[in-house]
Homo-oligomer: A and B are copies of this chain.
């Protein structure tokens, strides 16, 4: 079991097996052992730095939630839509992002991963088409795959006509059911979707009469540049500020701001869809942990802005270190993204490279790890891409790790 799930949401044996020439099981086992070595510098995972968790604030909030009258509520069954004061706090937060709404527009989920699972369950039948980026968040593909969709490429600035998406979906025996994208510092690329591109996605969604699933997991972690309004906010502007007329389902999370271990996320959208998600939630697991929702509410109410500021300061500096090291150590022919926020830098290597192959080489000869990019592509392309995360590491390790990676890339390129 442990090889399937290392707490980073990645199926490592499968990642290795994406290598052009499939690796033998014995070779994969050896590589998995190397991944666990303490001298490996790992840019894999996509995991917050635990040193930045507000542990004391959570400890106090939990103790308070288990004192007096609140204890019975904190430990008891609760409503499927989630803890009302938390939904109210989230509604106010959404308001500050340009999304005027009430608690009735919010359903609490077990992290935003569960939101993706529920939306897949709600919208997809086998053979239906989901529009996703090439690449896109691997966990979204994993969630949607359970409902056996076909994928088509969402490329906001491309020129394909809505009728073409529709015709291809129908030829494949289904219909286009939604467009999924992450707008801010997306996993895996770190890139941000421009306002113009967001409007284009809404145009396409309107033409196809489909919902937009906006994955906003990293939205709060901007280190530079100007905020781009959430797609849901742009959708509201098209409808006189009436959320009931919108088609965008905003999936938020406290995993990257407060802590992932409590598993609290949400969906914000028009009440008919939220109502269906509440019934889906009831059938799927009744509700998310009451206690955790109460603790998240207390910690967020007390100092959300301060906590986010502390994280941003640390991660921004790590991003800068990584970008500087890439400049210093990567040979010509290698390019990478310059994210304005989030946790990831995405590297495109010369065509002849295979990410899984490179990872094997890097682990063996230089003790450095990352995620091969191919798994993030629904069409199986992207073999020459890799994902690096800078969120969890000391800056000296980032600099050293990129130097090691650069040595292997230079050797293989030369």
Contact = CB atoms under 8 A, between A and B. Distances in A.
A5 B58 CA distance: 28
Contacts of A73: 50, 261
Contacts of A271: 1
A139 interface: yes
A23 interface: no
A74 interface: yes
Given A76-B260, A139-B283, 12 more contacts: A4-B282, A5-B79, A5-B278, A5-B282, A7-B287, A47-B76, A58-B291, A59-B71, A62-B62, A75-B261, A110-B285, A146-B284
A197 B332 CA distance: 72
Contact of A63 (B63, B117, B286): B63
A357 B219 CA distance: 51
B261 A74 contact: yes
A384 interface: no
B9 A77 contact: yes
Interface string A274-296: 11001110111111111110000
Interface string A1-38: 11011111101000000000000000000000000000
Given A5-B278, A71-B53, A81-B1, A287 B263 contact: yes
List the number of copies, as a whole number.
2
Contacts of A113: 283-286
28 contacts: A1-B278, A2-B81, A5-B282, A5-B287, A50-B71, A50-B72, A50-B73, A55-B66, A56-B66, A58-B66, A62-B63, A73-B261, A75-B259, A75-B261, A75-B262, A76-B259, A76-B260, A110-B110, A110-B289, A113-B283, A117-B284, A139-B286, A143-B284, A145-B283, A146-B280, A261-B291, A263-B285, A263-B288
User: Which 6 A-B residue pairings sit nearest by Cβ, starting from the closest?
Assistant: A50-B72, A75-B259, A55-B71, A261-B290, A5-B80, A114-B285
